[in-house]
Structure 1
Amino acid sequence: MPAYGIAHLYELANHDEVFEYIERIQSTMDPYGGRFVVHGVLPEVIEGDWPGTIVIIEFPDVEKARAWYASPAYQEILPLRTDHIPGTVILVEGVGPNYDASATAASLRAAAS
């Protein structure tokens, strides 16, 4: 099951250390099969408020996502971003190709009654 690293970055910062972080991040993701799905764009907000931007990175599974985040290579560059850009980062498992939202709704209804 694919997994995603999602970063909601509240403020953008043009800083040499941020540029270095961006230059180096791909090489930290490669050993874990990570790839950018969304990067470097401002979202179109159609409901609510969304300060900042979003980054989405896909991994083959949640174990690889966790291993990447904890890796010495990524931990070495992480302060280059966190020292200059506040935000929230989460890891989340995706759904499979046969996911059926109506089956999830049925399970939720059954559990609620």
Structure 2
Amino acid sequence: MNAYVIAHLRDPEKQHPDVAEYLERIQSTMDPFSGRFVVHGGAVDVREGQWSGSVVMLEFPSVENARDWYESAAYQAIVSLRADHLEGEVIIVEGVEPDHDSAAMGAELRKAL
């Protein structure tokens, strides 16, 4: 099952040479783990709540691949290039199967209530 690394960057417009280097190097750290960008700072259309900043989303074939990438020596060697200059949060989350059924999930929740 696919997994996603999601970063909420609060001030993505902040410019720094370290961030440019991070961007130049990140893909090569993801390649051994079959990672790819799904979202990379596109426009955010806020429909509910408050939001500041941008979103970056990476896709990996599994949670294990995502964790292994994040913890890899190659990524750990560059993560501070971003983290020292861009405030935000980073999470890893497992996706759902292609046949995911939210109605069945709701019915199970209703039974439990």
**TM-score w.r.t. structure 2 length?**
0.95
Alpha-carbon distance, 1:45 to partner: 1.3
2:77 aligned counterpart, secondary structure: helix
After TM superposition, the structure 1 stretch with the greater mean CA deviation from structure 2, 102-111 or 55-64, is 102-111
Distance 1:89 1:45 in 2: 19
Q: Provide the residue aligned with 2:3 in structure 1.
A: 3
Is this contact kept in 2: 1:6–1:90, CA < 8 A?
yes
Alpha-carbon distance, 1:5 to partner: 0.2
Runs of 4+ aligned residues of structure 1 deviating over 4 Å after TM superposition are none
- Tell me the percent identity: 58
Alpha-carbon distance, 1:105 to partner: 0.5
**TM-score w.r.t. structure 1 length?**
0.95
Q: Provide the residue aligned with 1:56 in structure 2.
A: 57
* Structure 1 unaligned blocks of 5 or more: none
Is this contact kept in 2: 1:20–1:80, CA < 8 A?
yes
1:99 aligned counterpart, secondary structure: coil
CA RMSD of aligned residues (A): 0.8
Is this contact kept in 2: 1:42–1:52, CA < 8 A?
no
